Amino acid sequence: MSPDDIRKEIELKIVELLKARLSDGTMSEERSKAISKIVLDLLQPGMNLTDLYKAIMQLDDACPELSPIVLPYAKQYEESITQKATTAVRDYIRVGKYNAAVDLAKKVASQEVELTAKNN
């Protein structure tokens, strides 16, 4: 699934949530409009996966109502990064590239690594 596909899926789920909350009265129209603006500002077409992940985390911070929608995507991304990084760090250590292993681990911890980046 491409980042744009993920973005569209998230946007659709958010629209469905906002419509449901408006119709059952658990969200005001003003809050719905504010959330919509934040979503449109943060989720842009053509984002790479890392930028999309960062935007998802900003959505979670700005709009706690969206946590049930956005957190599963963030978790999936983090698990993928962690798995790839663990393998790469292990490979670096096996061949004696300790500094590269430490550098990669620091990048992952600070979220400065691309999901598709080749870390050699």
Nearest to 56 by CA among 34, 69, 112, 79: 69
How many angstroms separate the CA atoms of 58 and 117, rounded?
A: 23
119 pLDDT tier (thresholds 50, 70, 90) = very low
Query: What phi and psi, each to the nearest 5 degrees, are found at residue 9?
Result: -65, -45
Q: Which residue in the block uniquely carries the two structure tokens 């500002």?
A: 41
How many angstroms separate the CA atoms of 60 and 35, rounded?
A: 11
pTM of the model: 0.73
Distances (CA, A) of 117 to 15, 50, 52, 53, 107: 32, 10, 15, 15, 12
**Chain segment 2-45, per-residue pLDDT in tens:** 999 999 999 999 999 999 999 999 999 999 999 999 999 999 99
**Helices marked H in 3-118:** 3-24, 29-42, 49-62, 67-94, 98-109
**Chain segment 38-93, per-residue pLDDT in tens:** 999 999 999 998 889 889 999 999 999 999 999 998 888 888 878 888 898 999 99
120 pLDDT tier (thresholds 50, 70, 90) = very low
Helix axes 49-62, 3-24, angle to 10 degrees: 20
The domain locations on the chain are: 3-109
113 pLDDT tier (thresholds 50, 70, 90) = low
